[in-house]
């Protein structure tokens, strides 16, 4: 019976988030699920390897997750604020800004790397190492987009 209550609660909350955030609802849910999944796999990896979960580690992890959520909210805010700001000077943008989606994808990718690494730590046969390297490569490519090319 408890499980049905959790599923119903999750469904209602997910629906409310999707309705409120419109195009960001599904992405925000993916971010939240990735964060929760990372926490769970991190706890499993710690328990399996006998690494104690200290309050300091938990505090650092908590603030890291809070910063991820703040970054997503900042991206969504930029998507809403910048068009309004440029409209004040008479320019109407003919497209939607992608900052919220870009930041969300980056956070999800970061969490996927951590999830895959946690699973690999527990059982190397359950996660091919190349998947972790592939995800890390995607993240590196995104990170490298912001760097200047010194060869030119």
Give the pLDDT confidence score for residue 20 in this predicted structure. Answer: 60
Give Cβ neighbours of residue 10 (< 8 Å, ≥ 6 apart): none
- Asked if the model's pLDDT at residue 123 lies above 80, the reply is yes
Which domain covers residue 88, as residue numbers?
2-144
Q: What is the mean pLDDT of residues 94-119?
A: 90
Per-residue pLDDT at 114 exceeds 90: yes
CA distance 91 to 21: 25
Chain segment 23-43, per-residue pLDDT in tens: 777 888 899 999 999 999 999
Q: What is the pLDDT of residue 98?
A: 86
Of the ranges 8-12, 32-36, 135-139, which one carries the lowest mean pLDDT score?
8-12
Q: What is the pLDDT of residue 44?
A: 94
In this structure, is residue 47 part of a structural domain? Answer: yes
pLDDT digits (tens, 9 = 90+) for 75-105: 988 888 888 888 888 888 887 788 888 899 9
Q: How far apart are CA 83 and CA 27, in angstroms?
A: 21
Domain assignment present for 150: no
Say if residue 2's pLDDT is above 70. Answer: no
Q: What is the CA radius of gyration of the chain?
A: 19
pLDDT of residue 84: 83
Is 152 among the domain residues? no
CA dihedral of residues 58, 60, 63, 67 (deg, nearest 10): -130
Domain count, the chain: 1
Whole-model pTM above 0.95? no
Q: Flag whether 56 is in a domain.
A: yes
CA angle (98 as vertex; 96, 100 as ends), nearest 5: 115
């Amino acid at each position: 019976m408890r499980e049905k209550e959790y599923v119903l609660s999750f469904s209602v909350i997910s629906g409310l988030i999707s309705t409120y955030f419109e195009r960001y609802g599904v992405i925000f849910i993916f971010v939240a699920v990735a964060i929760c999944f990372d926490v769970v796999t991190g706890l499993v990896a710690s328990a399996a390897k006998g690494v104690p979960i200290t309050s300091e580690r938990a505090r650092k992890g908590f603030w890291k997750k809070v910063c991820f959520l703040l970054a997503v909210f900042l991206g969504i805010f930029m998507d809403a604020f910048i068009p309004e700001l440029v409209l004040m000077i008479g320019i109407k943008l003919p497209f939607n800004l992608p900052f919220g989606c870009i930041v969300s994808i980056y956070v999800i990718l970061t969490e996927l790397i951590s999830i895959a690494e946690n699973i690999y730590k527990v059982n190397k046969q359950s996660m091919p190492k190349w998947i972790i390297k592939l995800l890390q490569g995607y993240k590196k490519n995104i990170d490298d987009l912001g760097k200047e090319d010194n060869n030119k």
